Amino acid sequence: MTAVIQEARVVAKKADRVWVQACIEQGCSSCHLSSSCGQGLLARWFSRPPPLLQLDAPNLVLEVGDRVELGVDASILNRAAWLQFALPLMTLLLASIFAEFLGVTSVFMQLVVAILGLAVGLLGARKFAGQATKPELLRKVTT
């Protein structure tokens, strides 16, 4: 298995469950050029706090504040990326083709049908994304 690994910090613990949040010290915020970089500027403007993930940790002794490594199978991540980008695009195109097939000649109505197709694709991608597997706790990071 090829895994994509991300560090996270334990923010809460209850029995064999932990809540982790991805470390934001990686990426643009850690780069020394982030103050003058366009990507860093966009990251500061549009950044949201990372979501909390609830995970099972029966084999690890963890405390709040510990750093852990999370792993996601790369093939699952690639499939999710394709789903998030390709499904809305395909439903938009199929809705447009369907409107053309039905003989819709108004540009406004074609646009409405295309936007409805896009909305259906986005909702479908969201539904399927909710069924994706959660990352696994790989190990505790020692510093």
pLDDT in tens, 75-113: 888 888 888 899 999 999 999 999 999 988 888 999 999
Q: pLDDT value at position 113?
A: 94
Please determine, for residue 67, whether its predicted confidence score (pLDDT) is greater than 90.
no
Residue 61: strand, helix, or coil:
coil
Say how many domains are in the chain: 1
Q: Amino acid letter at 32?
A: H
Question: Which sign, positive or negative, has the C-alpha torsion 87, 90, 92, 95?
Answer: negative
Looking at residue 94, its pLDDT comes to 95
Phi, psi of 21 (to 5 degrees): -130, 135
Domain interval for residue 58: 3-141
Distances (CA, A) of 83 to 53, 90, 124: 21, 10, 9
pTM for the structure as a whole: 0.60
Average pLDDT over residues 124-129: 84
| Domain CATH code at residue 73 | 2.40.50.100
Could you give the angle at the alpha carbon of 52 between the alpha carbons of 49 and 56, nearest 5°?
160
Percentage above 70 pLDDT, the chain: 81
Residue 3 is predicted with a pLDDT of 74
